[in-house]
Amino acid sequence: MKKAFVILSLSLCIGLGFISCSQKKIPVESEEYSIESAQRFMEMARQAMDGTQPTDEDWRALFATKGYHTFFQVWNWTDSTEWQRNIRNGFDLAFNPARKAQLDSIVARPLGEESSDEDFFTYNFYLTKQRFNELYEFIHTADFGQVMQQAHERVLQFLPAGADTLDLPPMKCYYLAFDPEGRTGNGVIFYDYNTAFEDGPEGLVNGIAHELHHQYMGLLMNARYHRDCDDAALQAIVRNQLEGAADLINKGTMPTDKLGAYGPDIVKMYNDDYFDSPNVLRQLDSLTCGYLAGKLDAKQYQAAAGCAHFEGHTTGDYMVFLIRDQLGQQAAIDCLGDFSAFVQRYNEAARKADAYVFSETFVSHIDSICSDLQTGE
């Protein structure tokens, strides 16, 4: 397989934080990707490391770049002001020498459940400073068009037969600087550039393929179901399959020893939650049966939607990986977008593995809802 990154020869001027490229640089933007926002962020970081902190106008210019502007539009259900505040404060903590004591305090304690959102931005930007020259080379020379091409090829290996005929709209990936994550929405991918570097060539292709997988899942769901549904149990099942199936691409095995740029404490928390998945699924079953029996009201039943931990990653990994390990990977792939079949496949795998099995009441509930959604009733 071709390497995802094509590294050009560089002339490095190290000491003041500068790196100059002696050959033609890759395009800043194409139909498939944009590195404008990441490059602008890095230029602000370089200036800060050289003693010039960004002005309010510098920040307005950064957030006006197409990557950030599009991100704030796509994620319009969140407060863009909060995102901007976390980015600005995290940057200032990481790159302002006057705040070194605060920075040292943040990076000295493990990131975990008690960490603020700002802490994740700060730690990610701290890593940016630590590996600045490597990141500068990466963001100016990596063949991001080739990454997207390989990701499109990779994702098809984790989709049902015929998925390549689905009308996937053109996808673009914007590389930004925020918390160590990749996100997708409205046909656009957003990827933290430090996380992209941390993932490595193969990991980045798989990470982008993971985000593309979500887009294909949306098409599969729209082809099967004719309306939306707010049932709490189904929401949990949807989220678990959505993330668990995509994680077949870029995790593959559990427990994991690495989660992008996240540290060991987050990895441990993730693994611990994965191993607790049978209890989470038992809770999902119990809440659903309690609601159907009239023992819980609708408000109490909404807790069932939360039975998709880490936004569906840990619980979803458990369900999807169990199907793969007991019935084969194709069994996990063939039921994508078919949530009734997904629950039934999980139960089949769980019986073989002597793991938690959903009750018949739960299985019938999911099957009934899915049947109604298919008929549009």
Per-residue pLDDT in tens (0 to 9) along the chain, 377 residues: 222 322 222 222 222 232 333 345 789 999 999 999 999 999 999 999 999 999 999 999 999 999 999 999 987 756 789 999 999 999 999 999 999 999 999 998 878 778 899 999 999 999 999 999 999 999 999 999 999 999 999 999 999 999 989 999 999 999 999 999 999 988 899 999 999 999 999 999 999 999 999 999 999 999 999 888 999 999 999 999 999 999 999 998 999 988 877 878 889 999 999 999 999 999 999 999 999 999 999 999 999 999 999 999 999 999 999 999 999 999 999 999 999 999 999 999 999 999 999 999 999 999 999 999 998 65
pLDDT at 185: 86
Are residues 189 and 265 part of one domain? no
* Count of domains observed in the chain: 2
pLDDT at 111: 81
Domain final position from 198, 220, 242: 220
- By CB atoms closer than 10 A (0-12, 13-18, 19+), residue 202 is middle
pTM of the model: 0.88
1 domain-assigned: no
Q: What's the CA gap between 131 and 136, in Å, rounded?
A: 9
84 domain-assigned: yes
Tens digit of each residue's pLDDT (9 = 90 or more) over 82-94 = 999 999 999 999 9
How far the first Cα of the chain sits from its last, in Å, is 48
Are residues 321 and 349 part of one domain? yes
Are residues 176 and 38 part of one domain? yes
23 domain-assigned: yes
Are residues 237 and 186 part of one domain? no
Half-sphere exposure of 323 (CA within 13 A, CB side): 25
Which residues make Cβ contacts (< 8 Å) with residue 166, sequence separation at least 6?
Answer: 216, 219, 220, 223
pLDDT at 328: 98
27 domain-assigned: yes
Is 106:263 a contact under the CB 8 Å cutoff?
Answer: no
Mapped onto helix, strand or coil, the DSSP state of residue 173 is: strand
pLDDT at 10: 25
Helix (H) or strand (E) holding 175: strand 172-176
5 domain-assigned: no
Are residues 233 and 215 part of one domain? no
Are residues 163 and 18 part of one domain? yes
215 domain-assigned: yes
Are residues 233 and 216 part of one domain? no
6 domain-assigned: no
Residue 280's alpha-carbon distances to 237, 254, 283, 316, in angstroms, are 12, 17, 5, 11
Are residues 358 and 308 part of one domain? yes
Phi then psi for 13, rounded to 5 degrees?
-115, 95
Are residues 196 and 126 part of one domain? yes
pLDDT at 13: 28
Residue 315 burial (CB count, 10 A)? 27
Domain final position from 188, 220, 252: 220
Which residues make Cβ contacts (< 8 Å) with residue 267, sequence separation at least 6?
Answer: 256, 257, 258, 259
pLDDT at 3: 26
Half-sphere exposure of 269 (CA within 13 A, CB side): 14
Q: What's the CA gap between 288 and 331, in Å, rounded?
A: 26
pLDDT at 152: 96
pLDDT at 15: 28
Cα-based angle 20, 23, 52 (whole degrees, multiple of 5): 20
Mapped onto helix, strand or coil, the DSSP state of residue 363 is: helix
Q: What's the CA gap between 94 and 219, in Å, rounded?
A: 41
Cα-based angle 122, 202, 20 (whole degrees, multiple of 5): 60
Q: What's the CA gap between 149 and 205, in Å, rounded?
A: 9
Phi then psi for 168, rounded to 5 degrees?
-75, 125
Which residues make Cβ contacts (< 8 Å) with residue 202, sequence separation at least 6?
Answer: 1, 4
Helix (H) or strand (E) holding 240: helix 232-250
Are residues 273 and 212 part of one domain? no
Half-sphere exposure of 198 (CA within 13 A, CB side): 21
Residue 74 burial (CB count, 10 A)? 17
Residue 4 DSSP class:
S
Q: What's the CA gap between 29 and 2, in Å, rounded?
A: 22
Domain final position from 220, 241, 269: 220
Is 45:128 a contact under the CB 8 Å cutoff?
Answer: yes
Are residues 165 and 302 part of one domain? no
Are residues 19 and 160 part of one domain? yes
| Domain interval for residue 258 | 229-375
91 domain-assigned: yes
Q: What's the CA gap between 228 and 373, in Å, rounded?
A: 7
